[in-house]
């Protein structure tokens, strides 16, 4: 896994430099309503024509079903009513959660171990250069491209109808709804969301009882840097702070839960102000974390001394798709139940 993570990070270096951390953020505002969708049937081929010709191919059927206009973060875009060949450079888990499999996905998305067993047949986007990526996409002849990368929008739009989704603009739920709607899977998304919310809320009282007045924090180590996060930056923060309403250390609560700050880089010396009674702890692949773990300060923290530390696989927890959130929920429940009855 370490070797693959290194490969993924190298392949995605441009994305990291452009703000990979930001690609994990979510909207902290109220849930926005679903985008308005205007459907239009192709005038030249009627629905009766499709039904009367069972030998039509999937591509021909899609054309016959026509196009519709969706509101996107780049304005109105016409997309197929029933897209069949989809490329996405980021939003993979959202598609897989409603049983839609893109033909191409980014190395970043495919690196998520929580998606293991669900990605067979999906090609990894060749990110050696912009030219190789575009050539690979063109060869697949997609009828829909969904991208998080604004800089590539114009190039993608010349290949196929392209939907640009601005990162962090929508809550996790509304992002899932939006993507599911693009492929006509809105009802399936609602079922998924309802089931997930029920699972979270069914154990809320139990988890609150175990944690009590103690605080929960998220700490992540990158090369010579320490990040702390709240509810807006993946890592399961939306479950911990928004849905379960667990408390973070005061500085995290004020800035990264109650306010809109996604994360902060802190010094080792300042870490006690940002760490709580429980610590979720991740390390970027191939990072030497000894500058934290070997320090007297880190080992003096109550959470570390008392074993209230949950190590997580950073490459998995930086995602926030529905499948990942469900997996994180299971991990959190098991972790906190290990402290039931313990002070």
Task: Enter the tokens of residue 91.
Answer: 């939003």
Average pLDDT over residues 314-334: 97
Whether pTM > 0.85 for this model: the answer is no
Average pLDDT over residues 68-72: 97
Residue 25 confidence class, pLDDT cut points 50, 70, 90: low
Residue 302 confidence class, pLDDT cut points 50, 70, 90: very high
Average pLDDT over residues 195-213: 98
Q: In what order do the strands lie in the sheet with 86-88?
A: 123-124, 104-105, 86-88, 144-147, 162-164
Is residue 275 scored above 50 in pLDDT? yes
Q: Could you give the domains of the chain?
A: 67-186 (3.40.50.1980), 204-338 (3.40.50.1980)
- Beta bridge partners of residue 178, listed in sequence order: none
Q: Give the separation between CA 13 and CA 20, rounded to whole angstroms.
A: 9
pLDDT at 79: 98
Q: Which residues of 109-118 are buried (b: 16+ CB within 10 A; e: fewer)?
A: bbbbebbeeb
More confident residue, 58 or 92: 92
Question: What is the 3-class SS of 119-172, one letter each residue?
Answer: CCCCEECCCCCHHHHHHHHHHHCCCEEEECCHHHHHHHHCCCCEEECCCCCCCH
Closest-CA residue to 5 (of 223, 285, 313)? 285
């Amino acid at each position: 896994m370490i070797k693959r993570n290194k490969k993924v990070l190298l392949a995605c270096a441009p994305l990291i430099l452009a703000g990979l951390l930001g690609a994990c953020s979510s909207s902290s505002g109220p849930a926005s309503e679903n985008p308005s969708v205007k459907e239009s049937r192709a005038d030249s081929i009627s629905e009766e024509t499709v039904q009367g010709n069972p030998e039509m191919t999937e591509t021909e059927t899609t054309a016959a079903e026509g196009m519709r206009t969706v509101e996107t973060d780049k304005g109105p875009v016409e997309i197929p009513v029933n897209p069949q060949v989809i490329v996405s450079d980021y939003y993979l888990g959202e598609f897989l959660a409603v049983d839609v499999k893109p033909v191409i996905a980014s190395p970043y998305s495919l690196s998520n171990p929580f998606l293991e067993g669900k990605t067979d047949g999906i090609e990894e986007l060749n990110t050696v250069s912009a030219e190789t990526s575009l050539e690979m996409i063109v060869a697949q002849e997609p009828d829909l491209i969904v991208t998080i990368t604004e800089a590539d929008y114009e190039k993608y739009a010349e290949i196929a109808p392209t939907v640009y989704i601005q990162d962090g603009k929508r809550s996790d739920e509304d992002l899932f709804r939006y993507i599911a709607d693009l492929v006509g899977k809105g009802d399936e998304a609602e079922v998924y969301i309802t089931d997930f919310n029920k699972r979270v809320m069914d154990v809320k009282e139990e988890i609150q009882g175990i944690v009590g007045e103690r605080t929960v924090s998220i700490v992540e180590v990158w090369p010579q840097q320490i990040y702390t996060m709240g509810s807006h930056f993946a890592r399961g923060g939306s479950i911990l702070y928004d849905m379960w309403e667990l408390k973070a250390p005061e500085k995290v609560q004020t800035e990264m839960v109650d306010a809109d700050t996604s994360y902060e880089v802190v010094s080792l010396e300042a870490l006690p102000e940002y760490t709580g009674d429980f610590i979720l702890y991740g390390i970027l692949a191939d990072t030497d974390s000894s500058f934290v773990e070997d320090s007297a300060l880190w080992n003096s923290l109550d959470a570390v001394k008392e074993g209230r530390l949950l190590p997580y696989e950073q490459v998995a927890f930086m995602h926030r798709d529905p499948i990942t959130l469900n997996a994180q929920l299971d991990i959190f429940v098991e972790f906190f139940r290990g402290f039931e009855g313990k002070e």
